[in-house]
Amino acid sequence: RPRYTGLIDKYRDRLPVHDDTRVIGLGEGNTPLIRLNNIPAELGRDVDIYVKYEGLNPTGSFKDRGMTMAVTQAVNEGSKAIICASTGNTSASAAAYAARAGITPFVIIPDGKIAMGKMAQAMIEGAVVIQIQGNFDEGMRLVKEVANEAPVTIVNSINPYRLQGQKTAAFEIVEELERAPDYHCLPVGNAGNITAHWIGYSEMAASSPKDATDACSFCQGHCKFAGGASVGNRPKMVGYQAAGSAPFLRGAYVDDPDTVATAIRIGHPQSWDMAWTVSQESGGWFDECADAEILDAQSLLARREGIFCEPASAASLAGALRDIQNGRIEDGSTIVCTLTGHGLKDPDTAIQQAEERGGRMHRVPAELGAVKEAILGN
Ligand code: F0G
């Protein structure tokens, strides 16, 4: 078998690349789909819950799937610089792929409220970091404006190549389960990722590229494997937002979003219309999770299953657990929750949470007696 070299090489026939395209890749994709053992047993419900651990991508988030495609396209079009607004993960990913390509990454990040790990990545990878006195939504507006005046390619998910790369997560899930799940739960910010997954599932469900004559409603002509209308098994797409940043639940933009899940601290989602279409076509829904629920789910996953994700990612599990318990997600269902980012992205929140939950750190002299006491005392 050929060495795994990344999702563009693997899914070349379903992505907008040519034989002579110079691929900018870091081996992204091919992330584990882990079946939860302990949490479903404790719930006492007959459900199969899988987590798609996207935190194991090269820069620790799902953004790498989109970034390999967006930067590949930018470089092949001759672009010398890319720009994004970011709550952290996009900037880390953009910086890495720009470094790989030898072009300049500019990243606009909100004032404060960006997790330490993400900042570290963007800085060491050589991004020009522009911290604005404003939030993500204001950063996004500035990115769009400045891209009209300066020679930079936008690599936020409004760049259609991003969604093309990200749709491959759905391909991997269907290949591994040999079917689509009944429910796919994701944390939602700009709603690019939920849209990308729906594109991916729709393409997988189309019986063949030739049969799929309807143009995909989202890809703006970039799908080689257009589909979406005619097809079999696709999941209900369920999007969870943080309660302080939940425009989809409110049905209106939120001007001053706030949440501990800083990755999804977004009040003006860029993929607003597409996300509503996904929700309607798939028969899914949007809901919100309180910060406390998100942090509970993050800790539960870490303690019961040994899987460490960042707070925003835990919104998918927090919401799914609630909807399993209240019966909105029926017994017998197969559920996939995307864990969008690695827990190491935000060490400060993790340490604080662990301490508040009675996490034990013993400071003792370097002596046998003291160490023994600490062990026997637990
Ligand atoms: N989870 C994480 C960890 C994220 O970083 C993001 C988005 C999302 C979920 C939401 O995905 O926007 O496609 O609905 N982060 C962006 C960033 C905004 O700048 O890193 P979405």
310 Cβ inside 6 Å of ligand 1 = yes
CA distances from 307 to 62, 324, 339 (A): 16, 20, 10
Residue nearest to atom 1 of ligand 1 (CA): 340
Assess contact for 185 and 238: CB atoms under 8 A. yes
Show the tokens assigned to 171.
């391909």
Pocket mutation for ligand 1, best pick of 53, 56, 87, 140 (most atoms within 8 Å of C-beta): 87
What is the rounded average pLDDT of the residues 19-44?
Answer: 97
**Domains (ranges, CATH) in the chain?**
7-59+162-354 (3.40.50.1100), 63-159 (3.40.50.1100)
Q: Confidence band (pLDDT; 50, 70, 90) for 5?
A: very high
Q: Confidence band (pLDDT; 50, 70, 90) for 2?
A: confident
Assess contact for 22 and 72: CB atoms under 8 A. yes
pLDDT score of 308 more than 70: yes
Q: What is the pLDDT of residue 185?
A: 98
State the Cα–Cα distance between residues 138 and 256, nearest whole angstrom.
11
Between the CA of 371 and the centroid of ligand 1 the distance, in Å, is: 42
State the Cα–Cα distance between residues 225 and 57, nearest whole angstrom.
25
pLDDT tens by residue, 206-262: 865 544 444 455 555 555 444 443 445 899 999 999 999 999 999 999 999 999 999
Assess contact for 74 and 97: CB atoms under 8 A. no
pLDDT tens by residue, 41-97: 999 999 999 999 999 999 999 999 999 999 999 999 999 999 999 999 999 999 999
Assess contact for 172 and 197: CB atoms under 8 A. no
Q: Confidence band (pLDDT; 50, 70, 90) for 179?
A: very high
What is the rounded average pLDDT of the residues 310-317?
Answer: 98
State the Cα–Cα distance between residues 296 and 280, nearest whole angstrom.
29
The residue type of 50 is: Y
* ipTM of the complex in this document: 0.99
Please tell me the pTM assigned to this model. 0.94
165 Cβ inside 6 Å of ligand 1 = no
Which atom of ligand 1 approaches the CA of 190 most closely? 12
What is the rounded average pLDDT of the residues 101-108?
Answer: 98
Q: Which residues are annotated as a binding site for pyridoxal 5'-phosphate?
A: 89, 189-193, 340
Q: What is the pLDDT of residue 50?
A: 98
341 Cβ inside 6 Å of ligand 1 = yes
Assess contact for 27 and 96: CB atoms under 8 A. no
Q: What is the pLDDT of residue 213?
A: 41
324 Cβ inside 6 Å of ligand 1 = no
What percent of the chain is modeled with pLDDT above 70? Answer: 93
- Alpha helix (H) residue ranges in the chain: 7-10, 38-43, 63-76, 89-101, 116-124, 136-147, 160-166, 168-177, 192-205, 247-250, 272-282, 291-300, 311-325, 347-356, 368-376
Q: What is the pLDDT of residue 214?
A: 46
Which atom of ligand 1 approaches the CA of 93 most closely? 20
pLDDT tens by residue, 288-304: 999 999 999 999 999 99
State the Cα–Cα distance between residues 26 and 41, nearest whole angstrom.
37
pLDDT tens by residue, 181-192: 999 999 999 999
Helices and strands in the chain: count of H runs, count of E runs? 15, 10
Q: What is the pLDDT of residue 378?
A: 78
Q: Which residues are annotated as a binding site?
A: 89, 189-193, 340
Between the CA of 264 and the centroid of ligand 1 the distance, in Å, is: 6
pLDDT tens by residue, 349-370: 999 999 999 887 889 999 999 9
| Mean pLDDT, the chain, integer | 93
90 Cβ inside 6 Å of ligand 1 = yes
Between the CA of 234 and the centroid of ligand 1 the distance, in Å, is: 23
Between the CA of 122 and the centroid of ligand 1 the distance, in Å, is: 15
Between the CA of 341 and the centroid of ligand 1 the distance, in Å, is: 9
